[in-house]
Structure 1
């Protein structure tokens, strides 16, 4: 792999450890102002990390004594980080089960605009009665049903991103023409649970399609993951088998529409390799040390993954160790590249910009 492993860091409050906020190095107020997330993202960017992900859920955190019982909205937090970073990718988690697909795609497109083409999102689902009660729009549904719906949401989002052609904006003050109406398109999308007419209210994102990721937290998510460009798999004894299964699902899923979807389509011996796969793991290198984690990452690379998503126990303690100690070790072992790439997130990941399916030149 010439570019090396993709590297990602998860931002979740003060860290994955529920008690991380209590450390003397943490100002608890910085969690709710976004400053903790900003500092972590900037440290990661300076070290050459490719992207940061932002954890979220519709359900409120448990109201437990000595734990932070609030969480900032992931999309809003990514928007807070975007103007104070330059190169690192930004992927907030968005639960699609109770959220309007039209608003989801518009929000992600907006993030891509304000970040200069560095945005993506992680599609997630909810099966809990708590989330259903909070939103109040529908009853909870089984995992298989919610993940099937998520695939429709992803498809609808990509079509809406294409509903504006790249040159639809004119901005001709002299004639009073600001948009070419012929280059805006209805998508007329229908699924078993929702329909969208379009076009979007946001011009086509700089990347064409911001990066879509899926975290495989349940077996039902594996089939949906075939539609993503980034897939986050948990570490397990059968990691290599899961990677192969995922890519086989992608091979079956990708047909003539693969180019429009903007998926990573690499041919090896006539086979479609499929999405980029990152192993996702909770880590605390400030306790366990760097060499042990580096060896674990080396083993993951041997299992065939394209990268790693590290979920630090403490942002303030673990991210500096990852940035200043782990990344140099991984470079010495030839596992990651220099991390100096700028431009769009798609370009950084080696993914091409999708052709607009509605553009006249594409027909």
Structure 2
């Protein structure tokens, strides 16, 4: 293999698929959405393709919970709790990383640190935490709140949570355990470090009651593209999952994010930027387009509109002509990056509300690619060469067909070009990503 920069690949793990109408596809088995064997099959397919990781998104509330009639018609994007599911996937896989979302808005930092350290032990060093602040505003109602926490407050809380979690992971030095049966000393007391954190929102004494995990710190992923999100990622993240729809925007985001890292004492190669990509792979561009259009025809208008309204932060578009232009929108208390991407897309391509919800239903704001394996590989290679990405999160629109075709057709083409690994070279997720293992250093 030559010296070309190799890309990283992740898979967004969903038992049915990401397209809002995926469950209606003729080959879909929506009854398997809560069956472990379905997730095992998809994860093992990704591992066969030598993917770096699988990634489970999550929400602590049903989407569109304000509209049960619409919710009853939507794709079952309501998977099981991530850490429990990933722990079940660990024994049936060997190398692939296992990344799960846990919100900092509705979880205590000690819980997050303990769960992820445990997953890292269970998986022999393949765990990753996707640090999210909850874009689904309905989560508030499940945690004794009348309204979702303000965007700025959510990120202020996230910064402190991340600090505490990383501190708790440093509760134990690598060689703290003695197991000295003769003296009766189980661990070296000098190598245990209570955190004693007292901050604006939390007071956490520690130490963590899980010993230091194989990776030292599980990998941290982050998905925010707002200003606070980018600052948080530059300081704490090892991976950034992002929505970028054009090469120009991808390059700007990549350069901006990497340029922020120096002030936190970090180098640009310590952070991997991985935009999401929704692939339709076929033997010709025309066949891929036909595959896509067949999915689009399954979208119910009320479902597509409801999805768009939620992605835009809960705005009400019911009073507008679906075949008219998108109205001007102001910032909301939900995710800022997705709102910006979708409104920019509507302006750039002069999309109607109907056309925008059709786009959103197929990709939920992510970048979509349609074509042959060679054509898709060309595009991915350009993004790597142009420093718009370090890799990609593959988001299958429906399953199992779209991930099988990506693994069987696109991955070999990337390998042929020297852009992707032929086999795993390490054991841990940090090994796959080329990230150093953190070691304990005293404050």
Higher RCO, 1 or 2 (CA under 8 Å, sep at least 6)? 2
The total of aligned residue pairs comes to 344
Residue 326 (structure 1) shift? 0.6
1:1-363 to structure 2, matched below 5 A, reads 2=4, 4-62=6-64, 63-65=71-73, 67-68=75-76, 70-126=78-134, 128-136=136-144, 140-173=148-181, 175-226=183-234, 227-237=236-246, 238-254=249-265, 258=266, 265=267, 272-285=268-281, 287=288, 288-289=370-371, 290-304=373-387, 305-358=389-442
Residue 107 (structure 1) shift? 0.5
| SS of equivalent residue, structure 2 residue 260 | helix
Q: Indicate conservation of the 8 Å contact 2:195/2:204, yes or no.
A: yes
Q: Indicate conservation of the 8 Å contact 1:228/1:275, yes or no.
A: yes
Runs of 4+ residues deviating >6 angstroms: none
Q: Indicate conservation of the 8 Å contact 1:82/1:114, yes or no.
A: yes
Distance (Å, rounded) in 2 between the aligned partners of 1:85 and 1:130: 34
Question: What's 1:268 paired with?
Answer: none
Q: Indicate conservation of the 8 Å contact 1:60/1:71, yes or no.
A: no
Gap regions ≥5 residues in structure 1: 259-264, 266-271
Distance (Å, rounded) in 2 between the aligned partners of 1:273 and 1:6: 13
Aligned-residue RMSD, C-alpha: 2.2
- Per-residue CA distance 1:57-99 (angstroms, 9 max, x = gap): 1221343225326321122221111111001111111111110
Q: Indicate conservation of the 8 Å contact 1:127/1:143, yes or no.
A: no
- Given the two structures, how large is their TM-score scaled by the length of structure 1? 0.87
Gap regions ≥5 residues in structure 2: 65-70, 283-287, 289-369
Judged with a 3 Å threshold, the aligned counterparts in structure 2 of structure 1 residues 138 and 173 are, in CA distance, closer, same or farther, namely: farther
Residue 54 (structure 1) shift? 0.8
Distance (Å, rounded) in 2 between the aligned partners of 1:278 and 1:171: 42
Q: Indicate conservation of the 8 Å contact 1:188/1:197, yes or no.
A: yes
- Given the two structures, how large is their TM-score scaled by the length of structure 2? 0.72
Judged with a 3 Å threshold, the aligned counterparts in structure 2 of structure 1 residues 223 and 69 are, in CA distance, closer, same or farther, namely: closer
- Per-residue CA distance 1:217-265 (angstroms, 9 max, x = gap): 54431111102111122123311011111011112222xxx5xxxxxx3
| SS of equivalent residue, structure 1 residue 340 | coil
Larger mean Cα displacement after TM superposition, 336-345 or 283-292: 283-292
Q: Indicate conservation of the 8 Å contact 2:5/2:384, yes or no.
A: no
Distance (Å, rounded) in 1 between the aligned partners of 2:136 and 2:81: 19
Distance (Å, rounded) in 1 between the aligned partners of 2:401 and 2:199: 45
| SS of equivalent residue, structure 1 residue 252 | helix
Q: Indicate conservation of the 8 Å contact 1:8/1:309, yes or no.
A: yes
- Of structures 1 and 2, the larger Rg is shown by 2
